[in-house]
């Protein structure tokens, strides 16, 4: 099988030749893996080939005008989100800061200079779809349809959660402005892909480690109808939808199924009601899963042998009958041990084969 066929089989709840594999990373571990395989620092495709990755992410890069003035020590993206560099013992990351819409009232939110769908280069999507035609082509990321987190990057999480509880018009206007732009960008990407895009990846973090982050009633009132628009768009173009959610999110799975979402991403096994055996037994014939290899488990603090045993255990639970793609629960963190990540993917290749 090629990669596209392999993922299609798995997400159709059939057993392919081997379990599909995906790769998500932070820059530090990515660089170490490339060095391990003797690759150049910018050889992203070479690393995915070495790891046996079956998915390729397509996107239209931003090519529009700069709308926000530069600020020393900050990165500011096309949406006006500010980040600053935070270093730590194994690397660092760009953390959200400043929150320019924290105190914004409705008029300012309606006038905020967001990008337009004309600001993106869709020719790149067409080229990627041609170049990677034998892979499972994924459009989007967890930030597409991510109403809570991304709004928090502009308005703070505290304000967003209070606004959500109150149904504040400022927050709902922010939701809808971003959604309208994303819908048009995704539509144009699908058109550029000419029917080759397999999966639309959307997200919203709906859980903490121990509980939902909001009530079912609030989810159904404010989030589900907006997510549904993205789901309907993907299905109109013959693509599946994969929903990302961190933390304890299985409380929303019945809603996801009703909405037409077919694949669940992340599956943090440490979170409440996210045990893979429970998820497989309750939802395994109605949903497919992508993730479940903890980025806070043996890959970080275990031995190679412990990593291999951990990955084998997850495969033994989730592989039978198809419906699973192995992937990290989040991006592999910079504190991941290189030898453990190599062992992770070698185990997926060797132990992830179906016996026919």
CATH class of the domain comprising 3-351: alpha beta
Q: What's the confidence (pLDDT) of residue 239? A: 98
pLDDT score recorded for residue 355: 77
Is the pTM higher than 0.95? The answer reads: yes
Domain boundaries, the chain: 3-351
**Residue 76 to residue 112: CA distance in whole angstroms:** 14
DSSP-derived 3-state class of residue 174: helix
What pLDDT does residue 120 have? Answer: 98
Say if CB 123 and CB 193 are below 8 A apart: no
- For residue 352, the Cα-to-chain-centroid distance in whole angstroms is 22
Q: Which helix (H) or strand (E) holds 200?
A: strand 199-203
Give me the helix-helix angle, 147-155 and 157-166, nearest 10°.
120
Question: Which residue shows structure tokens 């395994």?
Answer: 284
Low-confidence ranges of the chain (pLDDT < 70): 356
What lies within 8 Å, CB to CB, of 281 at 6+ separation is none
Tracing tokens 């639970």 back to the chain, one arrives at: 317
Query: Are the CB atoms for 306 and 283 separated by under 8 Å?
Result: no
* Packing angle, helices 304-318 and 338-351, rounded to 10: 40
pLDDT of residue 356: 54
What pLDDT does 232 receive? Answer: 98
């Amino acid at each position: 099988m090629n990669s596209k066929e392999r993922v299609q089989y798995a997400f159709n709840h059939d057993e392919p030749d081997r379990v599909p594999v995906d790769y998500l990373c932070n820059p530090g571990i990515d660089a170490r893996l490339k060095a391990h395989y003797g690759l150049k620092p910018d050889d992203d495709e070479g690393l995915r080939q070495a790891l046996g990755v079956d998915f390729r992410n397509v996107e239209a890069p931003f090519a529009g005008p700069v709308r926000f003035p530069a600020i020393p020590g900050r990165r500011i993206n096309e949406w006006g989100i500010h980040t600053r560099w935070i270093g730590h013992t194994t690397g660092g990351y760009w953390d959200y800061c400043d929150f320019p819409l924290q105190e914004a009232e409705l008029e300012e939110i309606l006038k905020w200079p967001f990008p337009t769908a004309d600001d993106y280069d869709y020719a790149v999507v067409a080229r990627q779809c041609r170049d990677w035609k034998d892979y499972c082509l994924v459009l989007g990321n967890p930030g597409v349809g991510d109403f809570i987190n991304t709004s928090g990057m502009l308005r703070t999480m505290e304000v967003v959660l209070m606004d959500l509880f109150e149904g504040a018009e400022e927050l709902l206007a922010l939701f809808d402005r971003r959604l309208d732009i994303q819908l048009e960008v995704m539509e144009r990407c699908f058109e550029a892909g000419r029917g080759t895009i397999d999966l639309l990846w959307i997200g919203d973090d709906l859980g903490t480690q121990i509980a939902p982050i909001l009530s079912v009633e609030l989810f159904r009132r404010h989030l589900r109808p907006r997510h549904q628009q993205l789901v309907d768009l993907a299905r109109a173009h013959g693509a599946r939808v994969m929903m990302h959610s961190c933390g304890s999110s299985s409380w929303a799975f019945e809603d996801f199924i009703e909405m037409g979402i077919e694949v669940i991403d992340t599956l943090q096994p440490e979170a409440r009601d996210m045990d893979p055996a429970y998820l497989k037994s309750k939802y395994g014939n109605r949903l497919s899963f992508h993730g479940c290899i903890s980025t806070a488990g043996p890959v970080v603090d275990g031995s190679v042998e412990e990593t291999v045993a951990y990955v084998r255990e997850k495969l033994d639970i989730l592989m039978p009958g198809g419906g699973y793609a192995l992937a990290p629960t989040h991006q592999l963190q910079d504190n991941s041990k290189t030898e453990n990540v190599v062992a992770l993917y070698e185990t997926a290749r060797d132990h992830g084969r179906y016996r026919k």
